[in-house]
Amino acid sequence: MSWTPSDAYAVITRHYLLLSFGGSLGVLQIAAGLAGLRGIWLLPSAVATRWLGLAIITASVALFLIAPVWVEGPWAAGSAEADSATRQWGKAAWSELAGAYNVNDIHGGVSGTEQAVWLPMGFAMALAICLVSGALRAKRRGPVGDAETPDGLDGLKTHGYQSVLPRSWAVFRRDLQSEIGREFDGRRHRYGLPARIARLWRRG
């Protein structure tokens, strides 16, 4: 089958998005397990959460690398040869798997700039799943301890995101006038560019 760079791009982008989603989900679970952020755990214990994160990362990378065996793409023949322009469309043989994704971006590979768009999307999906799952678990279980919900990630140590979000926003609004105003008033960061611009603006 003849193929165009946009055919290859569609397939590789889909695989990359899944890889970045799985990688982000795994990293979030490991980090949340280490930092004790119960509000984004997918499992009830820190140790299990960390192991789950490692398993998700391993599975995502393995799936990404071997997917060309059953998914058609620009890797049917010629992956072991360097030039991605001369390849056939189809499924890859096991012997050609290692170089399957080595496709130049002018032939449909995902460039660094495009990766900087797809990766945050994968991360956002992973974070959404963690927050929703943590919120559902926290709702069922109730908060850990009797303390008032702290704001920010500290709140996720004891509460679900549904409690942390309104509390964090309330604290931010309360501090907005005093602290954020002080950040911008030109004294604390008087050599920073924004403070200089603000001073010039005030002078007219």
Partner 1 sequence: MNLFDRATLEWLNGLHGFAPLDGAMRVIATDYLLPLAFALSLVALWFIGKGREQRFNFQMTVLHGMFAVGLANVAVWQINLAWDRPRPFEALPGQLDLLFYPPTDPSFPANPVAVGFAVGAAIWRVNRMFGAAVLVSAAFFGFSRVYAGVFWPTDIIGGAAVGMVGAWGAVWFRRLLEPLPTLFIRVARAVGLA
**Least distance from C-beta 176 to partner 1, angstroms?**
9
**Minimum CB distance to partner 1 smaller for 31 or for 48:** 31
**Of 78, 71, 73, nearest in space to 99 by CA:** 78
Distance, CA of 158 to CA of 149 (rounded, Å)? 8
Query: Does 13 contact partner 1 by CB under 8 A?
Result: no
Query: Does 124 contact partner 1 by CB under 8 A?
Result: no
* H/E stretch holding 88: strand 88-90
Q: Give the residue, chosen from 38, 67, 75, 84, that forms a contact with partner 1 under the rule CB under 8 A.
A: 84
Q: What binding mask, one character per residue, do residues 133-152 give for partner 1 by CB under 8 A, x or -? A: ------------------xx
Angle of CA points 10, 81, 7, to nearest 5°: 15
CB 85, CB 108: distance < 8 Å = no
CB 159, CB 149: distance < 8 Å = yes
Query: Does 30 contact partner 1 by CB under 8 A?
Result: yes
The count of residues interacting with partner 1 (CB under 8 A) is 64
User: Which range of residues in 2-10, 41-49, 139-147, 169-177 is near partner 1 by CB under 8 A?
Assistant: 169-177
Query: Does 109 contact partner 1 by CB under 8 A?
Result: yes
Encode 12-67 in three state secondary structure: HHHHHHHHHHHHHHHHHHHHHHHHCCHHHCCCCCHHHHHHHHHHHHHHHHHHHHHH
Q: Which spans of this chain sit near partner 1 (rule: CB under 8 A)?
A: 16, 19-20, 23-24, 27-28, 30-32, 34-37, 61, 64-65, 82-84, 97-99, 101-107, 109-110, 112, 115, 119, 123, 127, 151-156, 161, 164-165, 167-169, 171-173, 175, 179-180, 183-184, 188-189, 191-195
